[in-house]
Amino acid sequence: MAKKQVDIVAKEMGLDENIKKYLQRVERSLIVSIPIIMDNGDLEVFEGYRVHHSTVRGPGKGGIRYSKDVYLDEIKALAMWMTWKNSLLKLPLGGAKGGVCVDPTKLSIKELERLTRRYTAEIINMIGPDIDIPAPDINTNPQIMAWIMDVYSMQKGKSVPGVVTGKPIEIGGSVGRETATGMGLYFILEALCVKLNLDLRYLIIVIQGFGNVGGNIAQILYEKGAKIVAVSDISGGLYNEGGLDIPELIAWRDQNYFLKDFVKRDYEFVSNEEILEIGCDVLIPSAIENQITELNANNINCQIILEGANGPTTPEADEILENRGIVVVPDILANAGGVCVSYFEYIQGIHSYFWKLDRVNLELKNILLEAFEDVYTLSKEKKVTLRIAAYMIAIARLSKAIELRGIFP
Ligand code: NAD
């Protein structure tokens, strides 16, 4: 899917075939075995990955996910998408990603810590402040980043906060990082509403995924007065035509309960497939890849799809949605707030000077809105979708960097 997107854009922009060949491959991928002594004394071996798609424009940057569904090709695609995202935002970073094939809900906190520490030790030569800087993704969080930083720092004999972003604030994290992806989605949606003449306060919203990304955008839009009629997690979701009480559902989630077990009069259970087809103004897929495909694209019932997750829409679905006049705001633009504030965390760490929340959000808004304007203008000029326009900008910038550096040797 990631390669196919490059094919489509390359054709549209007349990209050099050699550059295309180069961009469709990752620079390096590492597969590691992670042996862990479980609490019951048994040994389990998990498989982990770290991939650099491109470090042409700077050190690799991208999250680490823990999921039983993680596999190498998925991590390669996610690393590639990080390259485009950083290029689109003009951040001096490349694209990377990592993951461990594990169901973290089955691990105790001590097992999770041992897994994280051993995984870090196994990938240690591929990460570092000048090489590749991981961050949280699905099922990873600031505590996990703290353990990674600790292992790396112990190996180097000094504290190296710059090896990860999304750290707890007490050890060099940035204010506003946890909410950054949600905040970024909001800034982009607000800008799009101006273009489309929509009033954000009257929008009806559906959100798939209720973790860091889905939960934060739900909370922000709820506070702005928009009506969130459905949200879901891996267990399924809840729907109420009159709107959901988002703070109440976040408090429920934070006790480690699934949404399917939340009972309230007027709230109906919906599956993760059904939630995507609920009638609304804005659908925000914020869980995993491949959710909107050629199988359900004709049943999607909204004006705007704002991609909180990476890769939720397939190229086949994109074509159907375009023909149906549904505006898709692509992941590499819509959810770029996270990596943007990760970059701020990285530079705050280098300078040992930490910003206030107002500054973080202002700088975030400036960078995202500049990228949004570039993408929107190009999409109108070339009469292409926002995704194609975003890719054209990102790929052109990267191709120029490759051309300037030349191909080694
Ligand atoms: P998270 O672990 O905090 O939340 C994931 C949510 O999706 C949870 O509600 C989970 O129950 C649900 N989910 C997981 N697997 C599912 C499945 N198979 N079907 C339906 N729902 C499922 O993760 P997150 O950090 O919010 O990341 C969500 C998406 O956003 C991912 O695609 C990630 O790559 C992307 N993203 C995250 C960030 C970030 O800063 N965290 C930034 C940009 C993009």
Percentage with pLDDT > 70 across the chain: 100
Residue 94 neighbours by CB distance under 10 Å: 26
| DSSP-assigned states of every residue in 134-172 | EEE-TT--HHHHHHHHHHHHHHHTS--GGG-SS--GGGT
Question: pLDDT grade, residue 241 (50/70/90)?
Answer: very high
Measure the CA–CA gap between 241 and 267, rounded to whole angstroms: 9
Q: What is the mean pLDDT of residues 43-64?
A: 98
Question: pLDDT grade, residue 242 (50/70/90)?
Answer: very high
Write out the two tokens for 138: 């699905």
The answer, yes or no, to whether any atom of ligand 1 lies below 6 A from the CB of 286, is yes
Pick the catalytic residue from 97, 167, 227, 365: 97
181 touches 216 (CB < 8 A): yes
Average of per-residue pLDDT values in the chain: 97
What residues have CB less than 8 Å from 380, skipping those under 6 apart? none
Question: pLDDT grade, residue 108 (50/70/90)?
Answer: very high
- Residue pLDDT, tens place only, 172-224: 999 999 999 999 999 999 999 999 999 999 999 999 999 999 999 999 999 99
Beta bridge partners of 400: none
- Residue pLDDT, tens place only, 10-30: 999 999 999 999 999 999 999
Q: Euclidean distance between the first and final Cα of the chain, in Å?
A: 31
The pLDDT score that the predictor gives to residue 65 is: 98
The pLDDT score that the predictor gives to residue 193 is: 98
Nearest CA to ligand 1 atom 42: 338
Element (H or E) spanning 52, and its range? strand 43-54
- Residue pLDDT, tens place only, 131-182: 999 999 999 999 999 999 999 999 999 999 999 999 999 999 999 999 999 9
The pLDDT score that the predictor gives to residue 244 is: 98
The answer, yes or no, to whether any atom of ligand 1 lies below 6 A from the CB of 217, is no
What residues have CB less than 8 Å from 138, skipping those under 6 apart? 63, 65, 66, 67, 211, 288
Question: pLDDT grade, residue 75 (50/70/90)?
Answer: very high
The pLDDT score that the predictor gives to residue 1 is: 92
Measure the CA–CA gap between 339 and 135, rounded to whole angstroms: 8
The pLDDT score that the predictor gives to residue 290 is: 97
Percentage with pLDDT > 90 across the chain: 99
* Single-letter amino acid code for the residue at 59: P
Q: What is the mean pLDDT of residues 318-347?
A: 98
The pLDDT score that the predictor gives to residue 196 is: 98
The answer, yes or no, to whether any atom of ligand 1 lies below 6 A from the CB of 310, is yes
The pLDDT score that the predictor gives to residue 248 is: 98
Q: What is the mean pLDDT of residues 257-265?
A: 95
The answer, yes or no, to whether any atom of ligand 1 lies below 6 A from the CB of 307, is no
Q: What is the mean pLDDT of residues 253-277?
A: 96
Q: Is there a catalytic annotation at residue 97?
A: yes
Ligand 1: which of 138, 232, 342 to mutate, most ligand atoms within 8 Å of CB?
138
| DSSP-assigned states of every residue in 175-214 | TTSTTHHHHHHHHHHHHHHHHHT--GGG-EEEEE--SHHH
Question: pLDDT grade, residue 250 (50/70/90)?
Answer: very high
The answer, yes or no, to whether any atom of ligand 1 lies below 6 A from the CB of 181, is yes
